[in-house]
């Protein structure tokens, strides 16, 4: 099962993660983690973020794809 949450941040996603054991995927969290880790995608994203620009969709898509390949996302995920 895959779930997409739209709207203001809240506790709904965390509750579903706890109840069902799904992976919680937040694009903002992915971007910050990639920048902090200094990954290739993180370095690319950092240049956009530091200049106040939006990170291009394809870069975000690549980060999400990479995350969806993780073992914990195989059971299901919540895209928040």
Per-residue pLDDT for the chain (80 aa), expressed as one digit of tens each?
777 777 666 566 777 788 888 888 889 999 999 999 999 999 999 999 999 999 999 999 999 999 999 998 998 888 87
Res 42: pLDDT: 94
Strands 2-4 and 77-79: parallel
Res 62: pLDDT: 96
Among left, alpha and beta (phi > 0; psi -120 to 50; other), residue 23 is beta
Res 9: pLDDT: 61
pTM of the model: 0.78
């Amino acid at each position: 099962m895959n779930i997409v949450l739209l709207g203001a941040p809240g506790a709904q996603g965390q509750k579903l993660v706890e109840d069902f054991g799904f992976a919680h995927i937040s694009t903002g969290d992915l971007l910050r983690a990639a920048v902090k880790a200094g990954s290739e995608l993180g370095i690319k994203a950092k240049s956009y973020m530091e200049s106040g620009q939006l990170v291009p969709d394809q870069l975000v898509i690549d980060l999400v794809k990479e995350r969806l390949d993780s073992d914990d996302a195989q059971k299901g995920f919540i895209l928040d």
